Structure 1
Amino acid sequence: MLQTGDQFLVKKINKSIVLETIKKNGPISRAQISEVTGLNKSTVSSLVNELIQEEFAYEIGLGQSKGGRRPLMLLFNTTAGHAIGVDIGVNYLLAVLTDLQGNIVQETMLTIANLSFENIVDLLKQTIQALIDQAPPSKYGIVGIGIAVPGIVDEHGQILFAPNLGWENVDVKSIIQGHFHLPVTINNEAKAGAMGEKIFGVGKGIAHSVYVSLGIGIGTGIIINNELYKGCNGFAGEMGHIPIEPNGKKCRCGNRGCWELYASENALLEQAKALAIPPAPNEPEITLAHLVTLADEGHHEVINLFNQVGEYIGLGLTTIINTFNPELIVIGNRMTSAEKWLINPITRIVENRSLAYSRKQLRIQFSGLNMHSAVFGAVSFAIDDFFANTRISL
C-alpha cells in the first residue's frame, strides 16, 4: 500500500526501529531504546505503548538502577504468533513450526519416495496442516509459511526449474496460499540456507559468506555486505551447475560436467553402486548414512570414495574462493554427516588450488545446524514478510 503523509511515514519508520531494537537488545528499557536509536523519550514511550497493546512487546519487571528510579525492562514477545518453514529436498521433506524468533515448537521429517509433483504437493498440504493444528494459541496465529526448494525461483516465488525434482514452471506458491489462505514465500533452498546460517548459525556477524548446500545436488547462497545476493533476476548462486569437466557426464540441467555430478551426495551414491558396495541389511538401496558407518568401520574403498568426492568439493570451493573472496564458507545439508571424511581432502585441494590472497582470512566450516539451515531460512523469510506487512499497515 502506498504511504501518504510525512508524519505517518516517519511514525512507521520509527516504530520499526523501536521494535527491531527490542528484538535485538531485549531486555531493554525505554531510556536505553532512546539512547540506542537517538529518538526522544516521549516518542519511544508512545511507540512502546503501542507495541505492548499490539502484543509485540511486554514488560518483564524492574531492571538495575543507574542512579535514579529502576527502569521497567522490555522484551520482544516471541509467542505473539508462529511461522511454518518447509525444506523440500529431493528425497525428504523437513518442516518446522516456530515462534517469531525462530525457536522450534514442532518438527516433522518425511522421506519422499514418489517425486511426482502431485504427491509432493499433497505431502506439503498434509504436513503444513498438521503443524497448524499443533500451533499454540497466539495473538496473530500463523503469520506465514516459508518454503525452500532445490531449484531456480524468480522474484515472484514462481519455481522455474528444479531439475532434481523434475519440475518446470510450477506455481507452488499459489497452490499453498490458496489452500491455507496464509501468506507464502518461496525461495531457493541454498539462498534460504545462507539466511538460516546468517541469522541462526555460524554466519552470525559475518559480512561476506557463502553457504554451500551439499545434498542430492549442490546449490549456493551468497551473502555480500550482510545482504543476500540474488543477481539481476534472483537467480544468482546456481554454482552446482558450473562445468568442471568439459566433456563430462550429462546433467539434468542440459549441460555437461556440472560440479554437482562429481561432488554431491548423488555422485557419492552412484560411485558406491558402481563399486558394488552393498546396502545396509534390510535396506533396498545404499545410503549416505550407511557409507559413513562403513568409513567409520575402516572400509578402505568407502574412505577412498569420500576422499575423491571431497577433492571435487574442494575444486568447486576454489572457484567460489577466487571469485567472491568470502570470510566464511559454510557447508550444509545432508553431507555434513560425512564431515570427518571430507574435511581433509577439501582443505588440501583448497590450499593447493586457490589463490593465497583470496583465502588469507577464510574459514571453511561445516554447519552446526546440519539439515536445518534451509528450513530456518525459510522461516526467517516468512517472519520478515509478516513484519514488513505489519509496518505498512501503521
Structure 2
Amino acid sequence: MSTSIGIDIGGTKVSGGVLDEDGRILVRTRRDTPDRSNAPRVVEDTIVEVIEELLVQADVEGVERPATVGVGAAGFVAADRSTVVFAPHLSWRNEPLREALGKRLDLPISIDNDANAALWAEHRFGAARGASHAVMITLGTGIGGAILVGGHLVRGRYGIAGEFGHMQVVPGGQRCECGNRGCWEQYSSGNALVREARGLAMANSPMATDLLAHVGGDPASLTGPMITEAARHGDATATELLAEIGHWLGVGIANLAAAIDPEVFVIGGGVSAAGDLLLGPARDTFARQLPGRGYRPAATIVAARFGPDAGLIGAAALGAEEQM
C-alpha cells in the first residue's frame, strides 16, 4: 500500500505524518511554528526538518517510503497551488513555497490552504463523507474555512475562497492581524478565547480568580487548552467564555448558510476540542439567526472527526491524488 506525507502548518505548530491510502497516520511528528518575526526561510527549514524526520521514522518502523508530500498552509494560497500570497500569522508574503521546498526535497510537492486540506480529509474519510455540499470551519489561532460544492473544493478565481475568518461581523471592532477591524476570527477563535480570559484576569475580575489559580496568578500563562479543561471541570467563567466564542461561531455560520447553503458545517481546529461546550451555543445561535428559519432545511453542525489531524490527513490525500 502506497504512503504519503502530510504537513499541516498553523500559527503555533507544524505537524506532520506519514499516511496510508485510507487516511491512517502511521508515524507522526511536530515542531513549534517559528515566530512570524523570523524570515520565511526559517519556516521552510522547519518544514524540511519535519519531512526529513518522518522519512527516517518511516524507514526505522518499516513503513513504505512515502511517494509524495502534501502541505496545508495557514494562509492565502494562490490558484497555482504553489505560492502563499499572504499568511497573517506567518512571515510569508508571495512566498513561492512549492518551488522552495522542491529544491530541497526529492519528492513531488503539493501545496494547498490548510482548511481546504482539512475539509478534504473530512469529505474523503470523516464527518462530511457522502456530503456533496459542505463547509469546513477551522478554529485555531484564527479561523480558516473551506467550501465543497458538488463534491469538489471551491478555491475561487485567485485561490483565496474560504477565508471566512476575515468576514466583518462587528463594524469598527477588534483590530485584526489582516489589517481590518471586526473580523470574525477576533470573536470566535483560540486567540479570542485567550484574549478575553486574560482581559478578565488583568482587570482583577473576581470571575477570573479560579482560572488564575491554575497558572499561579500569571494572566500571560492562560492558554486555550487550559481554559477548555477548566470548563470541562465545571469552571463557570471558562464555560461562559467558551459559550461566548460559540455564540459568535453561530453568528458566522448563519451568515455562511445564507450565502452557500451547504448540508453540513464541519467544525475543526484546536478550539473544537471543547466539543458541545462550544458547539451547543453555536447551534443555538445558528437556529435563532438562520435566515428563513422554520421554512427551510437547516444544515447540521458537527465536530470534525479528525480534530487537529484533519489538515495533515487531507494534505497527504491531496498530494497523493495530484500525482495520479
TM-score calculated relative to the size of structure 2: 0.89
Residue number in structure 2 paired with 1:339: 275
**156, 161, 166: which one pairs with 1:236?**
161
**125, 132, 147: which one pairs with 2:48?**
125
Measure the CA separation in 1 of the matches of 2:304 and 2:28: 19
Instruction: Compute the displacement of 1:281 (Å).
Output: 4.3
Residue 311 (str. 1) matches residue 247 (str. 2):
yes
Q: 1:145 to 1:290 in 2, by over 3 A?
A: same
* Length, aligned pairs only: 307
Measure the CA separation in 2 of the matches of 1:290 and 1:249: 23
Q: Deviations over 1:294-317 (max 9, x none)?
A: 112222222111111111111000
Alpha-carbon contact 1:220-1:237 (below 8 Å) kept: yes
SS at match of 1:135: helix
Measure the CA separation in 2 of the matches of 1:358 and 1:225: 24
Measure the CA separation in 1 of the matches of 2:164 and 2:314: 19
Residue number in structure 2 paired with 1:378: 315
Percent of pairs with identical residues: 28
SS at match of 1:102: coil
Q: Deviations over 1:18-46 (max 9, x none)?
A: xxxxxxxxxxxxxxxxxxxxxxxxxxxxx
**297, 302, 317: which one pairs with 2:233?**
297
Residue number in structure 1 paired with 2:205: none
Q: 1:162 to 1:359 in 2, by over 3 A?
A: farther
Opposite residue 14 of structure 2, the aligned amino acid is L
Residue number in structure 2 paired with 1:285: 221
Residue number in structure 2 paired with 1:254: 179
Opposite residue 202 of structure 1, the aligned amino acid is A
**15, 21, 24: which one pairs with 1:100?**
21
Residue 90 (str. 1) matches residue 21 (str. 2):
no
Measure the CA separation in 2 of the matches of 1:358 and 1:160: 41
Instruction: Compute the displacement of 1:114 (Å).
Output: 3.4
Instruction: Compute the displacement of 1:340 (Å).
Output: 2.7
Residue number in structure 1 paired with 2:73: 149
Measure the CA separation in 2 of the matches of 1:268 and 1:135: 37
Measure the CA separation in 1 of the matches of 2:57 and 2:253: 41
Alpha-carbon contact 2:77-2:113 (below 8 Å) kept: yes
Structure 2 residue runs of 5 or longer lacking an equivalent are 202-207
Instruction: Compute the displacement of 1:183 (Å).
Output: 1.0
Measure the CA separation in 2 of the matches of 1:359 and 1:310: 23
Measure the CA separation in 1 of the matches of 2:226 and 2:161: 34
Measure the CA separation in 2 of the matches of 1:138 and 1:230: 33
SS at match of 2:192: helix
Residue number in structure 2 paired with 1:163: 88
Alpha-carbon contact 1:193-1:211 (below 8 Å) kept: yes
Q: 1:358 to 1:273 in 2, by over 3 A?
A: farther
Residue 275 (str. 1) matches residue 231 (str. 2):
no
SS at match of 1:142: coil
Measure the CA separation in 1 of the matches of 2:145 and 2:169: 16
Instruction: Compute the displacement of 1:357 (Å).
Output: 6.2
Q: 1:274 to 1:155 in 2, by over 3 A?
A: same
Instruction: Compute the displacement of 1:234 (Å).
Output: 1.6
Q: 1:174 to 1:339 in 2, by over 3 A?
A: same
Residue number in structure 1 paired with 2:152: 227
Q: Deviations over 1:86-125 (max 9, x none)?
A: 0011011110011233322101133336342333222211
Opposite residue 171 of structure 1, the aligned amino acid is P
TM-score calculated relative to the size of structure 1: 0.74
Q: Deviations over 1:116-157 (max 9, x none)?
A: 233322221111001112225788x43211111111001221
Measure the CA separation in 2 of the matches of 1:163 and 1:297: 34
Q: 1:359 to 1:223 in 2, by over 3 A?
A: farther
Q: 1:320 to 1:279 in 2, by over 3 A?
A: farther
Greater radius of gyration (CA): 1
Residue 135 (str. 1) matches residue 58 (str. 2):
yes
Instruction: Compute the displacement of 1:386 (Å).
Output: 1.9
**143, 148, 157: which one pairs with 1:218?**
143
Opposite residue 316 of structure 1, the aligned amino acid is G
